[in-house]
Structure 1
């Protein structure tokens, strides 16, 4: 993927949002659309703390900075979704050019190959740090499309399946499986994905179906991280929140076998579970909650909702910036329409 020099990044930041050309209809899978987008694209100089404006240097530089974006909902025909992603990427490049990672935590697309193409095009055109991604329930939504492309939620598309949806996601990002791990600055990052939709488990609904293989792998990675990095937080990403953690999370199970998932996490109080899915406005509260481990919601890029499931007005587009210090995590909430901070949470490390 083409890398941007600092001058190019500054040029992009000073320009109006770039409009993508109309996407052609594509029925064939978007083979290898995004592996290149997962490489680092970094501006070369630190900008200010708010909208690129200069600010006083922090007394203690963080050990690691990373961004969390979820619910981007890129669709080839939806130009607003692409514009909002570009805006968020430019904003993060301005507020945290030192960032070591960006996480796209599910509901990245509408599940169609053309959507992945549009996502790749937007990512390849903007500066960003190395990317990691998870699958959300919308990555399976081609199962609600008829062979003619229209939506029909009364029955599943017989020409699309969980297997094809997972293959499209993993091929697009260059992953072997829909879940993986990474290390950054001596910290462990674990990325989980729902592996099946209603054709695999008819009772899955919109919850994350985690196979026994993934659950065993997850428990093993937590154990290994606890052994190799004692005392350090372990960052876990899953699109759906665990039931009865964040405010508003009691409406769904989040994970099909949520009891087993909770049992695994409760053995590791240093775990920090990031989720999206709800789209809830961070400023309404209850989106960073400790229940043995810390749960954190990341709101939504595409459409921010209130607790009545209605879009907030004026519209918002929200994501997180996380800075890691030896004794704490500082989680700040960014609203991208106004390019302003709208919330924060300090998590003291034990």
Structure 2
């Protein structure tokens, strides 16, 4: 039996087993996807090429930078002990200072595998803050990294690697883009069936997640776009955005494949969410690429959580046109959903705020965020509405979330709605619950008791009347500025609540609310 026949037979056998297995068991993704430690490729063959792609250590930004870099390099060496190359695409340092380069080099040289070809690119942070001219910054980069040029082309195990380099912050010259076009032409002529790997610090506008805000900002971007769109076999990897690669929009295919490499140092993300553009959590990401005869497998690593992120991205090769691309804008039409038994709960009620808690929703790719809405039940008007990340980017993604809801009115009933939103804007059904903010005055608390009675929270009218009567006495002493007697009689209200609860004369919800409100009044007085 020939080697070719054996290889094809094994591919067919394994593919058949996988298809059967997937057909028998299909599970939805929740916010924290499964840990996929194995490859998704359907062959048993060894990869032709293995290389990590990382960026944005920004050594010098904070004290933890070297430790994060060390941790990432450690994990990559454990996961891929025989690397053919190691690619670093910019922002090694925070300011381009010599001491920052030296720290970066000490970590890099400690871990880089001797057989791995080194491809190191320059980023805007190597230029912007060191007081040097662009030429001076470039020379320092060359001296500290051993690179001989800002942009260069290498062939590694018969695959083409093209590194582009900023000639000043955010700037790629027309000459460099034209050079890129020449290199692409040569690569395609050499082997039209292989992918061509391109690396640059800044991504191309409106490709991967984050490039709508962070991208190359000069006139040559149009020329660069026109150059790249002629080569659908290009796999372009860029850093700079710091956007989390656990978002599926971090890979994008239109004219070619664009990939976000994440960031070792810290995470940045979108505006308009409760946690802010830079959430207060440590997130360190990077890529591990494996190249096979007929596919490129890109695995995403969350170094903070020491886990793989969701399924690897798989690019089938050879790529002759963009017709077979699957990582497109319209790749996902499925809405996230909550488990049928999911229920939100309310806690930490105050006179003008509350906390709402709920379990994470499920999605076929990723639940990205939630919309939380507070509606005044009396007026029907929206009092507060915001979006919050699902915290999918964390090292350990929580199975449930708790968010604050502020700017509410005292002693007011609210309907609380929660909807899940996936990375592509698909929206789930609503989770709903109701809550009443604490009363700010004793008469307001009496009014809440009336609401509970109207809602059937008491077994009879006498329960409500007895509570109101006790509160009337409390209010009398408040009006007389006699806080000692007010507290004494509010304590009697608490005893009455205990008695009614023990005799099953009021609901748990009414008891918990009124007891909390009574305690808050005593604390205040």
Q: Pick one of 38, 56, 60 that aligns with 1:71.
A: 56
Q: Where do 1:160-175 residues align within 5 Å?
A: 160-175=132-147
CA separation in 2, counterparts of 1:178 and 1:306?
28
8 Å contact 1:137–1:194 — kept in the other structure?
yes
Deviation at 1:314, TM superposition (A): 4.1
CA separation in 2, counterparts of 1:175 and 1:302?
22
Deviation at 1:131, TM superposition (A): 2.0
Q: Which has the higher contact order (CA 8 A, sep 6+)?
A: 1
Deviation at 1:300, TM superposition (A): 0.5
Given the alignment of the two structures, is residue 230 of structure 1 paired with residue 192 of structure 2, yes or no? yes
Deviation at 1:230, TM superposition (A): 1.5
CA separation in 2, counterparts of 1:173 and 1:253?
25
Q: Pick one of 253, 260, 271 that aligns with 1:297.
A: 260
128-137 or 330-339: which moved more? 128-137
99-108 or 337-346: which moved more? 337-346
8 Å contact 2:86–2:112 — kept in the other structure?
no
Q: Where do 1:70-219 residues align within 5 Å?
A: 70-75=55-60, 78-110=62-94, 111-128=96-113, 129-143=116-130, 157=131, 160-197=132-169, 207=170, 209-219=171-181
CA separation in 2, counterparts of 1:269 and 1:233?
9
| C-alpha RMSD over aligned residues | 2.0
1:283 counterpart residue number: 246
The C-alpha deviation readout for 1:108-136, integer Å capped at 9, x for no partner, is 11211111111111122224333211111
2:450 counterpart residue number: none
CA separation in 2, counterparts of 1:211 and 1:93?
35
Deviation at 1:252, TM superposition (A): 4.0
Deviation at 1:312, TM superposition (A): 4.2
8 Å contact 1:65–1:322 — kept in the other structure?
yes
The number of equivalent residue pairs is 271
Deviation at 1:175, TM superposition (A): 2.8
Question: Normalized against structure 1, the TM-score is what?
Answer: 0.73
CA separation in 2, counterparts of 1:318 and 1:253?
19
Q: Pick one of 316, 327, 337 that aligns with 2:304.
A: 337
CA separation in 1, counterparts of 2:109 and 2:195?
31
Question: Normalized against structure 2, the TM-score is what?
Answer: 0.49
319-328 or 169-178: which moved more? 169-178
8 Å contact 1:70–1:104 — kept in the other structure?
yes
Q: What SS does structure 1 have at the residue aligned with 2:253? A: strand
8 Å contact 1:90–1:127 — kept in the other structure?
no
Deviation at 1:248, TM superposition (A): 2.6
The C-alpha deviation readout for 1:150-209, integer Å capped at 9, x for no partner, is xxxxxxx4xx21110111112222233211121111100000011023xxxxxxxxx3x1
Runs of 4+ displaced beyond 6 Å: none
8 Å contact 1:304–1:317 — kept in the other structure?
yes
CA separation in 2, counterparts of 1:247 and 1:259?
19
2:202 counterpart residue number: 240
**Rg larger for:** 2
Gaps of 5+ in 2: 1-35, 320-525
1:151 counterpart residue number: none
The C-alpha deviation readout for 1:204-252, integer Å capped at 9, x for no partner, is xxx3x11232122211111110011221110000010100111231224
Gaps of 5+ in 1: 1-48, 144-156, 198-206
288-297 or 126-135: which moved more? 126-135
Change (3 A) 1:130 1:303: same
Change (3 A) 1:130 1:100: same
